[in-house]
Chains A and B, each alone.
Chain A
Amino acid sequence: MNIGYFSIIAALIVSVYAAVCSAIAKKTGNMKLISSSRNAVFVVSGLITITAASLLYALITHNFQLEYVASYTSRSLPLFYTISAFYAGNAGSLLLWVWFLSIFASLVVIQNLRQNRDIMPYVISVMMTVASFFLFLLVFVTDLFKKLPFVPQDGQGLNPLLQNPGMLFHPPTLYMGYVGFTIPFAFAIASLMTGRLGDEWIRSTRRWTIFAWLFLAIGNLFGSWWAYVELGWGGFWMWDPVESASFMPWLVATAYLHSVIIQEKRDMLKVWNMILIILTFVLTIFGTFLTRSGIVSSVHAFAESPLLGYLFLGFIVIILIFSYGLLIKRLPLLSSRNELDSLLSRESSFLLNNLLLVGATFAIFWGTVFPIISEVVRGVKVTVGPPFFNQVTIPIFLTLLLLTGICPLISWRSASRRNLMKNFLYPFTAGLTGGIVLFIMGIRNTLALISFTLSIFVATTILTEFIRGTMARREMTGEGRLKAFFTLIRKNKRRYGGYVVHIGIILIFIGVTGKAFKSEKVVTLTKGESSTVKNYTLRYDSYSEYPTRNKYIVATTLSIYKEGKKVGILTPEKDFYKGQEQPSSEVAIRSTLEEDLYVILAGYKNGSATFKIIINPLMSWMWIGGYVLVLGGIIVLWPDRKRRKGAKALTAAHGMSRLEI
């Protein structure tokens, strides 16, 4: 029998043990049991690692007797895609989920050997309960190590759509994000259970939360990038249920990241933060559920499995009832000492940001589950398409963009007119001027104009913040410009890292806004013929067919001229992978900061070919924004250097509080 299979069963038993004993130990105060359940966490991650290793081994050694290996790999598949087949199927991706969780849980236990002793047993209990659920699915519902009655010569190969670097990274990054939110959730629940409801649970999990948030963002971006370069329809987002599923927890987590600042600063919104983190966690499970169950028809959902769907649904209902029940029970302990003072204050603008993010999430949720609701209620399936999501979320997201600019400029508690005038003058002027210039340049699309104007406004506010902070430091310490600038960031990583993230978001907005100016054309060309789209001329030069080791390629070559000058060659292809019936369109993209030229080989016959040519303005800025966002995230996460006591006192004496968020 298989080692992987046995160790997954063992992992289930041990994780249930850890979940139960940890809670009992806390109730009875049995120290031995506490340390035993702690060790159990390590054992679980060890056992799951063995299972993962044995699956990897089977994949790499082409053990085609395993159904899983035979369905997703073949001998001709390159090694890294063979490894990525680990999470190509339902069972494997569940294994990846719980593997990450067990590793994260072990890290949490190690981090908290000496701190948070009061709540740790419950934290362990919650993490292991979640792990048990996934392990249960792996053992009883899916059959990862199912053997075929015979050994096939070769496997089916990986779906060509998944043979793309984007798909290599998309699932693991997304899962790190999903799974990461289990940690703050576990701490929140543990705090509710013990009634220790200060800020400790938030502070202890701050890094985990940002880590999870960052990876969820990266996962979503990888997904979009993959859709853009691989799916070949020229877009990057189509509000598919699966996309919405991974976007919703990110939105709520964004709200949470902002509102915990209010709790730390002003001791407010305690209940709200609990609601948000529970909701985030539930949405991560809901996301996994949507992709696994096939309940909503989606272009890239996994195999349909109703049983899995019901189990997930049951799990979600249990989490919701348990968590919110517990929260209601603890409400008296969660009263705030402060109240919102004024509508014009940073607290209010944060609160508004929160409501908008949650509102957007609700709208997306509504659109995503509407087909199910309408079928249950009215007996007919009614769907809403991308236009719905765009119509509803664009105004909300533009308002959020505006708030991104306003928040840092508005003072805590209550903003005075002077404060507003002083802080808003430059950014407001810059935004307005930018908008007018763009209008004169001939941009007439209202939403795009608003989006660009707001982007300039927000970028200016952030720039002002950096300049103001650097100057204040220079005055205070007499440091040089560059040194003052970097020390400023180093000493206030959370605030300035956050600003860098905001710059990333602005760039992503700019990239998305480019969609408003998209142009496309379908054209049939014989060899030597040319076609012009906007300021590009494409000449169809040659056609070729040739086999490679694992596919048969049909390639076309086009010379690209821009304003009369030759700027390059594009070769859109259709590839036919061995063992796969369907072709795989390989689009050709010429990417510049200004715009992307995107060419799809749609069809061909007797040397003639039909192309779809798309021009996507500003597309690159979306990916650049992604890099900037990651940079900002890294700044926030960067560990503090162990400061000497003296240095700490000095900072405090200089009254740096204004510079901190």
Chain B
Amino acid sequence: MKIKRFRFIIGGSILLLVLIYLIYTGMEGTMRYYMTVSELMAKGNSVYGEKVNLGGRVVKGSIEWDKLKLKLKFSITDGKKSLPVIYKGVIPDAFKNGASVVAEGTYSPRGFFRAAALLAKCPSKYLSAIPEKKK
């Protein structure tokens, strides 16, 4: 009986180790800092070229979009500081002035952020618009 149980414990431990190994190696290659604009700029040259996720809002009126070449330029802000972002590719529908976005990419020493992917979330409060309409 003891030997049997021992075998199962060994089997279970091997499984656990494999799982930990998978998680560990999985993390190594895919971990990314999630930062706001201020945090990114404060880090400065230490993050140049490193892949980060930059979260913030689209600065109103900053969007320049080439509708055919799909080249996009806009400024992202966390309310304190803002930074120009360039991106090429299909733009999510929810991307617009004031939308909250996550840009995945790298911070360039030339003072802008090059996004390889762009995620946008619709602002959750549509309501603020109603009273304005009334006036």
A: residues with CB less than 8 A from B are: 67, 70-71, 148, 150, 152, 156, 159-161, 231-233, 297-304, 339-343, 352, 355-356, 359, 362-363, 366-367, 370-371, 380-385, 387-389, 391-392, 395-396, 522, 524, 581-585, 600, 602-605, 608-610, 612
Contact = CB atoms under 8 A, between A and B. Distances in A.
Given A71-B126, A608-B68, A395 B22 contact: yes
The 3 closest A-B pairs by CB, nearest first: A603-B67, A303-B124, A381-B34
A355 B5 CA distance: 16
Interface string B69-107: 110000000000000000001111111100100101000
Contact of A381 (B22, B33, B121): B33
B63 interface: no
Given A340-B4, A366-B23, A381-B35, A156 B70 contact: no
Contacts of A389: 26
Nearest to A394: B22
B34 A383 contact: yes
Contacts of B134: 150, 152
A70 B129 CA distance: 11
A233 B126 contact: no
A355 B12 contact: yes
A320 to B, nearest CB: 22
B30 A391 contact: yes
B91 A602 contact: yes
A303 B122 CA distance: 10
A388 B68 CA distance: 33
A609 B104 CA distance: 26
Given A299-B121, A391-B22, A359 B15 contact: yes
Contacts of A341: 4
Contacts of A605: 67-68
A71 B127 contact: yes
Given A363-B19, A383-B53, A602 B4 contact: no
Contacts of A160: 93
A235 B77 CA distance: 29
18 contacts: A152-B130, A152-B134, A159-B122, A161-B122, A299-B121, A339-B1, A342-B4, A343-B8, A359-B16, A363-B26, A380-B35, A387-B26, A388-B27, A582-B93, A582-B94, A583-B93, A603-B65, A603-B68
Contact of B130 (A148, A339, A370): A148
Contacts of B92: 231, 233
A524 B90 CA distance: 12
Given A156-B130, A396-B22, A603-B70, A233 B32 contact: no
B46 interface: no
A148 B89 CA distance: 41
A299 B70 contact: no
Interface string B53-71: 1010000000001111110
A67 B19 contact: no
A380 B33 contact: yes
Interface in B13-29: 15-16, 19, 22-23, 25-27, 29
Contacts of A382: 31-34
Contacts of B89: 522
Contacts of B129: 156
B133 interface: yes
Given A297-B55, A382-B31, A384-B30, A522 B90 contact: yes
A379 to B, nearest CB: 10
Contacts of B11: 343
Given A384-B26, A600-B90, 11 more contacts: A152-B130, A160-B93, A297-B121, A298-B121, A301-B121, A339-B5, A381-B35, A384-B30, A387-B26, A392-B22, A524-B68
Nearest to A585: B93
A67 B126 CA distance: 11
A554 B37 CA distance: 35
Contacts of B67: 603-605, 610
A387 B104 CA distance: 14
Given A359-B19, A381-B33, A522-B70, A391 B25 contact: yes
Nearest to A303: B124
A387 B121 contact: no
Contacts of A302: 124
Given A383-B32, A384-B31, A388-B30, A233 B90 contact: yes
Nearest to B55: A297
Contact of B125 (A299, A303, A370, A388): A303
Most buried by A among B91, B104, B126: B126
Contact of A582 (B27, B96, B124): B96
A387 B25 CA distance: 11
B133 A152 contact: yes
A653 B110 CA distance: 83
B122 A391 contact: no
A395 B19 CA distance: 10
Nearest to B16: A359
Contacts of A161: 93-94, 122
B7 A584 contact: no
A524 B7 CA distance: 62
A366 to B, nearest CB: 6
A64 to B, nearest CB: 9
A297 B93 contact: no
A604 B68 contact: yes
Contacts of B22: 363, 391-392, 395-396
A583 B35 CA distance: 28
Contacts of A367: 26
B19 A362 contact: yes
A285 B18 CA distance: 29
Contacts of B19: 359, 362-363, 396
Contacts of B133: 152
A392 B121 contact: no
B44 to A, nearest CB: 15
A301 B124 CA distance: 9
Contacts of B66: 603
B128 to A, nearest CB: 10
Contacts of A387: 26, 29-30
B103 to A, nearest CB: 13
